[in-house]
């Protein structure tokens, strides 16, 4: 199958590929979308569901298979230089933050799984804003991983592949959950997916025709590898600690049986009000806040999924707003810029708005209807971007998300 949409820019990419690798022939294109998470933030690594959709913005890798085990990769973005490495089950990592780590992570994991893999020459490009909280790094891992499988004529079922890539990405130093890789690999066009973990499962809901999810970037980078990584990893530890204390308390109080040792089991066995009360009785300070966010956010995902299924935009919006407040006050991952964007969107009539992704910068997502979309877009433009001196077209930082399908590899049409 040839490359079917958004071909514009492709011949430039092929030109760049040919300059970088004059001896190779650009045969394949591997594409993996970024995502916007609609609700269920910082729940995945706690085993609780998330509800994202894939974007029509993606990582694209144009590649030419090689006979040896070498990967050579250049990036269309000047800030990322040429990287070269040999595929093996033990690839030395670069310092945290180096983009090569996202290339090496899937290669090391698949080499461990399959052994003896051949490599390729690659030109990497992105239509996703980098470090925006829209998952460009996981999209890169997925695009690389599926390219490597294809070049070696291997296949994996989508969910197995997504799980393997989520584990693989921990090579880069972030203790992430599995949301980003799952939605990038397994999204269904026109749908949002509730993703459940351990084992990984995906359940699709069609996005109502007249719902518009507006994505707006704070212009503050949400580096997965920088300071945000520390904040993120600290929260994964805090959540584990809180879980142990509440699980013991639930057992001691006779509210849950022996073996209730995960967030999903707690939520299944103790109703949400009792769970919050238990947390308030046995936890304090930071641990209490983290716990309260995780369990309330987990239960909001199911309510939001049902609201979407019945086209109930105002309920969905209220849940989105509650999610933002909880991320702001209890999970402490919002920022003045994220809050400002949320306020502007709500002030212009959005049904709901929240930060999306890990936070600490990055983007918000706002839900608008046909009646409020234009107002929301202009409020964000005139209230946020223009006063900050952003000139010209805003499509890179402010756009309406279209729910796209998952990652694919295809042959490049001859003659492009
Ligand atoms: C990052 C991680 C995801 C998820 C979100 C927060 O995007 O990669 O796994 O934990 O943060 O919801």
Calculate the alpha carbon distances from 270 to 57, 253, 262 in Å: 40, 11, 12
Q: Which residues, at least 6 apart from 208, have a Cβ–Cβ distance to it below 8 Å? A: 308, 311, 313
Written as tens digits, the pLDDT of the chain (416 aa) is 344 445 667 888 999 999 999 999 999 999 999 999 999 999 999 999 999 999 999 999 999 999 999 999 999 987 788 999 999 999 999 998 899 999 999 999 999 999 999 999 999 999 998 788 899 999 999 999 999 999 999 999 999 999 999 999 999 988 789 999 999 999 999 999 999 999 999 999 999 999 999 999 999 987 766 667 889 999 999 999 999 999 999 999 999 999 999 999 999 999 999 999 999 999 999 999 999 999 999 999 999 999 999 999 999 999 999 999 999 999 999 999 999 999 999 999 999 999 999 999 999 999 999 999 999 999 999 999 999 999 999 999 999 999 999 999 999 975 45
The residue whose CA is least distant from atom 2 of ligand 1 is: 176
For 310, half-sphere exposure in the C-beta direction (CA atoms, 13 angstrom radius) is 9
Long-range Cβ contact pairs of 205-211 (< 8 A, separation 24 or more): 205/305, 205/308, 205/309, 207/53, 207/308, 207/403, 208/308, 208/311, 208/313, 210/369, 210/370, 211/308, 211/313, 211/316, 211/367, 211/368, 211/369
pLDDT at 5: 42
| Separation of CA 40 from chain center | 12
Is the omega angle on the peptide bond into residue 40 within 30 degrees of 0, that is, cis? no
In a domain, 153, yes or no: yes
Q: What's the gap in Å between 333 CA and the centre of ligand 1?
A: 12
pLDDT of residue 96: 87
Please tell me the predicted confidence (pLDDT) of residue 179.
98
Ligand 1: atom nearest CA of 174 is 8
Report pLDDT for 1.
Answer: 35
Does the residue 303 lie in any domain?
Answer: no
Asked if the structure places residue 164 within a domain, the reply is yes
The set of residues, in sequence order, having a beta carbon less than 8 Å from that of 189 and lying 6+ positions away, is: 403, 404, 405
- For the residues of 78-89, what is the DSSP string, one character each? TTS--EEEE--S
Reply yes or no on whether 330 is catalytic: no
CATH number for the domain including 202?
3.30.230.10
Give domain status of residue 82, yes or no.
yes
3-state secondary structure of 107: helix
pLDDT value of position 416: 52
Of 130, 178, 156, the closest CA to residue 409 belongs to 156
In a domain, 34, yes or no: yes
Beta strand residue intervals within 120-230, DSSP E: 120-126, 191-196, 201-206, 212-217
The pTM (predicted TM-score) of the whole model is: 0.95
Q: Is residue 256 part of a domain?
A: no
Give yes or no for a contact between 270 and 256, defined as CB atoms under 8 angstroms apart.
yes
Q: Whose CA is nearest to atom 1 of ligand 1?
A: 358
CA distance 203 to 56: 20
Q: Note whether residue 142 is domain-resident.
A: yes
Quick check: CB of 42 below 6 Å from ligand 1?
A: yes
74 CA → ligand 1 middle, Å: 27
Comparing C-alpha atoms, which of 10, 39, 134 is closest to residue 397? 134
How many domains, in total, are found in the chain?
A: 1
Give the single-character DSSP code of 69. S
Question: What's the pLDDT at 203?
Answer: 98
For residue 2, the model assigns a pLDDT of: 40
How many Å from the N-terminal Cα to the C-terminal Cα in the chain? 14
Q: Which domain holds residue 119?
A: 2-206+404-412
In a domain, 187, yes or no: yes
CA 283 to chain centre: 30
CB 61 within 8 A of CB 148: no
- E strands of 23-81, at which residues? 28-39, 51-65, 70-75
Task: Look at strands 28-39 and 51-65 and give their pairing.
Answer: antiparallel
Q: Does ligand 1 have an atom closer than 6 angstroms to the CB of 33? A: no
Contact 100, 94 (CB under 8 A): yes
Count other Cβ atoms within 10 Å, centred on residue 153.
Answer: 7
Backbone angles phi, psi at 163, to 5 degrees: -65, -40
Q: Which atom of ligand 1 is nearest to the CA of 166?
A: 9
């Amino acid at each position: 199958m040839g490359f079917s949409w958004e071909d514009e820019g492709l011949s430039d990419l092929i030109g760049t590929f040919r300059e970088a690798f004059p001896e190779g022939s650009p045969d394949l294109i591997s594409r993996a979308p970024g995502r916007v998470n609609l609700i269920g933030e910082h729940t995945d690594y706690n085993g609780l569901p998330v509800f994202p959709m894939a974007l029509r913005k993606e990582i694209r890798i144009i590649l030419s298979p090689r006979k040896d085990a070498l990967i050579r990769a250049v990036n269309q973005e000047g800030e990322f230089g040429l990287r070269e490495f040999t595929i093996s089950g033990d690839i030395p990592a670069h310092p945290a933050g180096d983009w090569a780590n996202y290339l090496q992570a899937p290669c090391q994991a698949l080499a461990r799984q399959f052994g003896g893999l051949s490599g390729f020459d690659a030109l990497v490009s992105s239509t996703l804003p980098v470090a925006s909280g829209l998952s460009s790094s996981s999209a890169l891992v997925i695009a690389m991983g599926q390219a490597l499988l294809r070049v070696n004529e291997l296949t994996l079922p989508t969910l197995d592949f997504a799980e393997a890539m989520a584990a693989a990405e921990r090579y880069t130093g972030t203790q992430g959950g599995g949301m980003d890789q799952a939605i990038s690999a397994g999204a269904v066009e026109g749908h949002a997916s509730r993703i459940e973990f351990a084992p990984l499962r995906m359940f699709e809901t069609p996005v109502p025709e007249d719902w518009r999810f507006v994505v707006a970037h704070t212009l503050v980078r949400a580096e997965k590898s920088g300071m945000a990584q520390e904040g993120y990893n600290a929260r994964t530890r805090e959540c584990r600690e809180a879980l142990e204390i509440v699980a013991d308390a639930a057992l001691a109080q006779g509210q849950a049986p022996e073996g209730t040792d995960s967030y999903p089991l707690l939520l299944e066995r103790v109703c949400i009000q009792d769970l919050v009360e238990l947390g308030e009785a046995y936890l304090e300070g930071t641990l209490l806040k983290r716990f309260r966010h995780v369990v309330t956010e987990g239960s909001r995902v199911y309510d939001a999924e049902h609201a979407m299924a019945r086209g109930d935009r105002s309920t969905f919006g209220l849940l989105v707003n509650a999610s933002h407040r909880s991320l702001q006050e209890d999970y402490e991952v919002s920022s003045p810029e994220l809050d400002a964007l949320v306020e502007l969107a709500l002030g212009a009539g959005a049904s709901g708005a929240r930060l999306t992704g890990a936070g600490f910068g990055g983007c918000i997502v706002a839900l608008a209807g046909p009646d409020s979309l234009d107002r929301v877009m202009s409020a964000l433009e005139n209230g946020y971007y223009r006063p900050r001196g952003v000139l010209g077209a805003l499509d890179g930082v402010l756009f309406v998300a279209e729910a796209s399908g998952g990652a694919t590899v295809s042959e490049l049409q001859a003659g492009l």
